[in-house]
Amino acid sequence: MSADLWTFATTLYARPGVEAACLELQAAGADVCLVLCGLWLDSRGVGHDPDREGQLRHIAEPWRQEVVKPLRALRQAWREAASQDAALNALRKQVKQLELDAEREQLARLQALAQTWPQQAGKRLNAWLQALTPEACSDACQALQMPVKTR
């Protein structure tokens, strides 16, 4: 288990099926950084709490709306034209890196808030995942489920 959220997120994202699941969730309107934070909290045994969820959303939503989404929209808008224009393609790659840097900063902000939240024995596994993903994304959630710990 990774101590920091960024390492956890990048390690999880590299697992088979996770990237596709995250893109599906993103298309359905989920904040993937928030979902990854929830998975991190689930993996650490931090029980879901609606007040804490609200605190996470309070940090995540403005950053997502004002920083991440505009960068993503610009990158996506340039996709077709960049395939025909080498200079635009180079700029698009820079925007993609900025988008990734913005997501990393969002994860750092979420971690700063949640890193000291205590573990709670007996809490439902994947409760954060279920709370932070749209109901219509059950297939994506399957790919993100944390394995059940056995003793």
Domains in the chain, number: 1
Q: Determine, yes or no, domain membership for 151.
A: no
DSSP H helices, the chain, are: 5-13, 18-27, 32-43, 50-63, 69-77, 79-82, 86-114, 127-132, 138-144
> Region 46-58: what's the mean pLDDT?
96
pLDDT value of position 136: 59
Asked whether residue 56 is assigned to any structural domain, the reply reads yes
pLDDT (tens digit per residue) in 82-136: 999 999 999 999 999 999 999 999 999 999 999 999 988 666 678 898 888 877 5
119 in any annotated domain: yes
As a whole number, mean pLDDT of residues 45-56 equals 95
Torsions phi, psi for 32 (to 5 deg):
-60, -35
In a domain, 34, yes or no: yes
Cβ burial of 125 (10 Å; 0-12, 13-18, 19+) is: middle
Note whether residue 150 is domain-resident: no
Structural domain of 66: 5-144
Q: Does the residue 122 lie in any domain?
A: yes
